[in-house]
Structure 1
Amino acid sequence: MFVETGVGIKAAIAVTAFVVILTVSVYLNDRPYAGFVRIGKDENSWKAKQRWLSSAKDIMNEGLRSTKSPFQVMANCGPLILLPPVMMDEIRNDDRMTFKAWLKQHFFTTYPGFQGFKPAVDSNVFTDSVRIGLTQSLTHVTEILSPEASLALEELFPYSTEWREYQFDQAALKIIARLSTRIFIPALARNEEWLNIAVDYTVDFFTAAFVLRLCPPILRPIAHWFLPQTRKLRASIRTARRLLEPELAARRRAQEKEREAGKPVTKPVDAIQWVQSVADAKGVYVDPVYAQLNYTLGAVHTTSVTFVNILYDLIAHPEYIELLRKEIHDVYQQAPKWDKSTLRELRLMDSFMKESSRLTPVTMLPVNRVAEETVTLSDGTVIPKGATLGVPTLRSVDPSVFPDPFKFDGYRFLNLSQEPGGATKYQFVSTSNDSIVFGHGKHACPGRFFASNEIKIILVHLLTKYDLKFPDGKTERPKPLEMGADLIPNPDMKILIKSRVDEAGDNQF
């Protein structure tokens, strides 16, 4: 009896302590910021977070309608300050409010398994490797993408003159992972284990971060050890290291031999070398496994979602398919090679892609920052140190910016580009205060040029070699699932695909 009573007392103390810690944690970490109007119902933080997950767009719209000043909401990550789009210039290049700090805070880069974003947080090496290595190698890498895309599509969608049903969001992940790996780590381009990691690590990473954000901060250092998604992340990193280490060791040996022989050191054109070159120039060390996972995270998730959305819009507006096929044919006749300059001539395709992203971005909150010190904005607004803030994309459907904003017009940006000064302003990759799907300012996505070329190459092969439609006679575009500010292609959606016989032979790229 004495033992049982002692155990009961200890259990009661433990439960009481847990409840107290949980209550204090929620109170301290979910307290609204002082001095900001809070948009949303006056409810406890858990209910507020649930409402954000289901109604973020409505909440943001309510805030923009009710005030012209910064306001706050209770998001799934806690209190969040939202700036009206007209205040974009206040933060886009201000180093006191950084995207790095946001990544570190919201993607838990200090926890084992989440190191895939660590290179982007710890230094400028990763971003510079994309900007200097990948972007400056676009001419070379784009020529590699075309045959790889053709082969990937043939394997995923074998030749058939009968309609076949496919889960396209999963197919898109595999296509993008394969093309990205072919460019970033050519040695593993045919390694199925690595290709599986490129897909699974990306999905598990964002899922695990989402789940962990819902945990009270005080419990996260413990909870992350037990979540199924984070356990998978740690396992994926171990597998990635096992797969990548032989290639890294072989390069070290080859380069050492070249040094000993007094020869110039060979520098492959791939992401391993891009990161290494920048790291050497800065005199810092970046774990090559984490760096490659960072490339994977940056290249696979947002690109595949963007691609799926574009394809859904094409099927929903089939009148553009023949127009794009004609454009592909005409451009290829002038320069029969798919490279960076040829893809630039696909102007209607570029416009269509931008219109799709305008109406269905990957996220309605692409500009995110965390204040690393207290900041006073020009209107007197004080952003406290450690505060999370962002700018929503809702200006993209503002009728004062884009007439008839909810109408899909694939020619919208092509027509705008004909205006004085519009040649580059309205490209798919261009950012502005009115177009922030890739972010804006110095923190705009550095890989967007590669992603644009990648999507265009896939579309060239897909449109010329296949016919596509929705099943069951559907013609309307499937609505994305709204998960907070993120827009996710409906995972239950399938499309029908069959091989296309082109008598003109234009599908043999």
Structure 2
Amino acid sequence: MAQYILTHLTPNPYLITVLLLLGCLVYKFNNESQVYEKFEYVRGGVFQRKEVHEIVHDGYHTISKRTKRPFVVNWWAKRYIIMPTHYLADLKTADWGHLSFFTNISDALFLHTTVGDLYTSHKSERMVDIVKRDINPRLPQLAPIMKQEVDSALEKTLGEFTGWKEVNTMALLSRVAHQTATRVLIGEELCNNESFIKLTTSFLESIFVTALIIVKLPLGPFRGFLASPLSLVHKWKLYRCKKILLPIVKRRIAERKGHKGNPADVLDGIEWTLARVPEGSLVDTPETITTELLHALWAGSSAPGGMMTEVIYQMLLGEEYQETMRTEAIEAFQKFGWGEKMINVLHCQDSFIREVNRLYPTGAITCSRTVVNRPFKFSDGLVLPVGARLGFPIKASQSDADNFKDPDKFDGFRFLQQGTAEGGTVENKRVWSAASMDINNLAWGYGNHICPGRFFAVREIKMVLTKLLLKYDIKWQNKNRVRPPPIHVEGQFIPNMKQTIFLKRRESVAVIDMI
């Protein structure tokens, strides 16, 4: 019996070799793969010794700037065409489903292994519509709700203390961002449920970690096949989150059918999602809706926490920024109180946030797209076939002297001055705002797939920063005044996760008891 097993079940090296060769041949002559051969491939040296952001920087300056042509890099274990920024204009005119961000991110992070067609079906458009048509118009109404969750998250994380309290910056601000997003995108039933908050935090982190495991292992042509078993732990985390959320979704569906209550009075993602589900839909089950809500939560909570962290780090590097923004916050609060009007006059904060995103974006590549359904023709005649992947070099272009004066110097009020220089009108200030879409402000993407949640995110950052500035003195132990180094992972920039800050309640501020 043992001999039979050894003879028949031991992998045949010849068979494995043949399969590998066949896989390579299929890839070589695949129409999609041939397009990458048209452009120069920028490598990171032997065994990819350079980081992705360094490779993109090299390609931008040695190829795109010199020849105006795209180049190719390896990103998320796939080849990507990195486009010169003059091609950005075509993203504005491309159909939603023709150059697809959702198809791209689903493939890059292997999301289809756990959520099926969530990112390639009508559900992806619904997730965007909920932000664009339900959240954004209601931002003034949501302001007091968001403030309540910011207060709650800070109180739970900090507790009661006197004197200076040391806290982990990333952990504190990620919790605030996650709880606030949970209230808006899920609802008040679970935003203060510690078990749900912890489970969803672990689930959201595992999306990125699982993708990294899949792309970093030397799986070659078997990567796609092995992605599903490698995603089992992540799938289990998704199941545990759904187990808590699903009964609430089912109850809300039943209440809508029974016409109990007024859905218009409910301000949360569950209600907005159910309102957009076609009546009698057979594909939108309670289970799929629950999965959709959890992935909307991922989109709404991950980026703001990191951005807040980078803003705090940069503010502490320059004491003059902290005092200027504190003075602005006190004046705005005393004049308007908490709300939309206060947020809208925080121009120094707005410029500061945009400058942080310019010099310290969340990644080296943005506006990633996949050509879907039919070839895409750019305005200069360049044609990319179906399946081709592309992106734009955000870090390199936003640090280019042709685009910005003193590009490597952080100037927190750069865009405040820019708006004033052009007349300081409401329109000009909007052009230079942190949430604006501009070829030199790619933090939120560009074109039809620009992040619809950017207005929510900027307001949340301002709200948290204002709360901290009004209520606490803030400092850190950083005598050398060196920016805490981020973690570089697959072209992404993750804020330093070890850096701590010290907070002390401000006794001298007259408005402290009102906030």
Distance 2:77 2:146 in 1: 38
The AA in structure 1 aligned to 2:284 is Y
**Paired residues, what number?**
497
The equivalent position to 1:435 in structure 2, one of 430, 433, 441, is 441
For structure 2, the 5+ residue unaligned runs are none
The AA in structure 2 aligned to 1:273 is E
* 1:398 corresponding residue in structure 2: 400
Is the contact between residue 335 and residue 342 of structure 1 (CA under 8 Å) also seen in structure 2? yes
State the shift of 1:508 in Å.
3.5
Distance 1:360 1:115 in 2: 33
SS at match of 2:398: helix
State the shift of 1:241 in Å.
2.1
Alignment of 1:351 onto 2:354 = no
* 2:331 corresponding residue in structure 1: 330
1:23-45: per-residue Cα shift (whole Å, max 9, x none)?
6546655866355332424978x
1:139-179: per-residue Cα shift (whole Å, max 9, x none)?
11111111321222122123434333322212222111111
Distance 1:11 1:204 in 2: 34
* 1:219 corresponding residue in structure 2: 222
* 2:3 corresponding residue in structure 1: 4
Alignment of 1:446 onto 2:447 = no
Alignment of structure 1 residues 120-159 onto 2, 5 Å: 122-159=123-160
SS at match of 1:188: coil
The AA in structure 1 aligned to 2:159 is P
* 1:297 corresponding residue in structure 2: 298
Is the contact between residue 116 and residue 293 of structure 1 (CA under 8 Å) also seen in structure 2? no
The AA in structure 1 aligned to 2:354 is K
Distance 2:487 2:44 in 1: 26
State the shift of 1:117 in Å.
5.6
CA pair 7-152 structure 1, distance change in 2 beyond 3 A: same
Alignment of 1:387 onto 2:388 = yes
* 2:277 corresponding residue in structure 1: 279
The AA in structure 2 aligned to 1:108 is F
Bigger mean CA deviation after superposition, 167-176 or 446-455: 167-176
State the shift of 1:123 in Å.
4.3
Is the contact between residue 100 and residue 120 of structure 1 (CA under 8 Å) also seen in structure 2? no
The AA in structure 2 aligned to 1:84 is P
Is the contact between residue 56 and residue 73 of structure 2 (CA under 8 Å) also seen in structure 1? no
* 1:462 corresponding residue in structure 2: 468
Distance 1:174 1:26 in 2: 45
TM-score by length of 2: 0.88
Query: What root-mean-square deviation, in Å, do the aligned CA atoms of Structure 1 and Structure 2 show?
Result: 2.8
SS at match of 1:137: helix
Is the contact between residue 123 and residue 292 of structure 2 (CA under 8 Å) also seen in structure 1? no
SS at match of 1:473: coil
Bigger mean CA deviation after superposition, 69-78 or 208-217: 208-217
CA pair 275-120 structure 1, distance change in 2 beyond 3 A: farther
Is the contact between residue 149 and residue 176 of structure 2 (CA under 8 Å) also seen in structure 1? no
The AA in structure 2 aligned to 1:306 is M
The AA in structure 2 aligned to 1:140 is Q
TM-score by length of 1: 0.89
Distance 1:282 1:476 in 2: 58
Distance 1:295 1:183 in 2: 11
Runs (4 or more) in structure 1 with deviation over 6 Å come to: none
1:451-498: per-residue Cα shift (whole Å, max 9, x none)?
111111111111122222232534221122222321111223233333
CA pair 329-42 structure 1, distance change in 2 beyond 3 A: closer
CA pair 414-54 structure 1, distance change in 2 beyond 3 A: closer
The AA in structure 1 aligned to 2:405 is P
* 2:315 corresponding residue in structure 1: 314
State the shift of 1:222 in Å.
4.4
State the shift of 1:101 in Å.
1.9
CA pair 499-333 structure 1, distance change in 2 beyond 3 A: closer
Distance 1:236 1:116 in 2: 19
Distance 1:275 1:60 in 2: 42
For structure 1, the 5+ residue unaligned runs are none
Distance 1:367 1:266 in 2: 35
Is the contact between residue 329 and residue 469 of structure 2 (CA under 8 Å) also seen in structure 1? no
Distance 1:119 1:468 in 2: 44
Alignment of 1:233 onto 2:234 = yes
